Amino acid sequence: MNDFKTKEEFAQALLAEFEARKGNDDHKLFVDFNPRLETDTSGKLRLSICPDGRTGAGLSLRMDDYFKDYKEAISWEEFVEKCITTLKEQLEHMPDFLDKGADGLLDPDNIFAYCVNAEKNQEMLSKVPHRIKDDLAVVYRIMVVDDGEKFATVLVDHDIAKHLGMDEQDLYERGISQTCDILTPEIIPVGEILFHDPDLAPEMMVLTTHGHKYSSGLILFKDLLDEAADRIDADKLIVFPSSMDEYLVTGTAGTKEDQQFALTTHRNIISSDPEDIFLSSNVYIYDKDSRELTMIGGEEPTLDLNRDPNQE
């Protein structure tokens, strides 16, 4: 059994095993797809199987998980075959990848927007259309499969945008108009999550999506923030960007003391996160009356949620 000292060394060895199987009819998976190592939007290393070598395909193995699992395998060869079997099972839920190829799945009606940490994703941002919003970047994906069991998307890079004949403004307008329909937002009381009692801690809500996928884009939608404010019975919200999968929101009086306390609390929490998967080290204030979202520390609001992208 191979003894890998680092996750990166392990990932490179697994990638080499996949590349050695390219063109092998016994592994059709590697005839139609190209394996590559990628860093996802939460900063995690994945081994992806990408149509036409493109970034952001829906077939992938998260190296953190598999690095832990491989030591329990009887042999390295057995482990590699297990990984291939896992990818084949994913593929069974999206046969169109092989039947149509990537281009046949690039439907503009399935484009949605989400946010990533701009500083931590500079390499990825150099390859994709995006716009900067404070310390976040708005990027775009296309939903490929969401059948209740499997969830697959394709990241819109510059090549895909060119293929679709869309610039970043086009993608933004599509994303803003379609994201909530595609991802189904949910506003859940913290008490319901922690204690199965929605009446406990009613002043705190979790803003997420059904399935807890790509929820980071929900901060762009004023109606969702308004609804959260109404349910909390607050004119202003503090929005904690804790991860790619959810926001924690609570009411605030909006004083500088409240803001500093929220920022300090948030940074203390994320500093103890060994996975480093938080979306942002900053927090945001949403004012329901002005419908503006302001990053704490910024002098002026830079996310104008009243703006109509069709007027630009």
Mean pLDDT by runs of 10 across the 312 residues of the chain is: 80 85 60 67 68 53 78 81 78 53 72 92 90 94 71 82 93 96 92 79 87 90 95 93 87 83 82 67 92 72 44 44
- The 8-class DSSP code of residue 305 comes to T
For residue 2, being part of any structural domain is answered with no
Q: Which residues are paired to 247 by β-bridges?
A: 207
pLDDT at 77: 86
Does residue 238 share a domain with residue 168? no
Count structural domains, the chain. Answer: 3
pTM for this entry: 0.70
Does residue 194 share a domain with residue 128? no
DSSP notation for 36-52? EEEE-TTS-EEEEEEET
As a whole number of angstroms, the distance between CA 299 and CA 281 comes to 17
* CB-based burial, 223-259: b 16+ in 10 Å, e otherwise: ebbeebbebbebebbbbbbbbbbbbbbbbbebeeebb
pLDDT at 179: 96
Does residue 164 share a domain with residue 80? no
As a whole number of angstroms, the distance between CA 249 and CA 285 comes to 10
Please report, in angstroms and rounded to a whole number, the separation of the first and last CA atoms in the chain.
Answer: 59
Give the E-state strand segments of 125-281 in sequence order. Answer: 131-133, 136-146, 151-155, 185-189, 204-209, 236-243, 246-251
Residue 88 contacts by C-beta under 8 Å, 6 or more apart in sequence?
Answer: 29
Neighbours of 125 (CB within 10 A): 16
As a whole number of angstroms, the distance between CA 122 and CA 108 comes to 25
For residue 1, being part of any structural domain is answered with no
Does residue 288 share a domain with residue 196? yes
Q: Which domain holds residue 24?
A: 7-100
Domain final residue pick, 136, 165, 181 = 181
As a whole number of angstroms, the distance between CA 101 and CA 136 comes to 32
As a whole number of angstroms, the distance between CA 42 and CA 38 comes to 11
As a whole number of angstroms, the distance between CA 217 and CA 84 comes to 32
The CA angle 85-98-61, to the nearest 5 degrees, is: 35
Domain final residue pick, 66, 100, 134 = 100
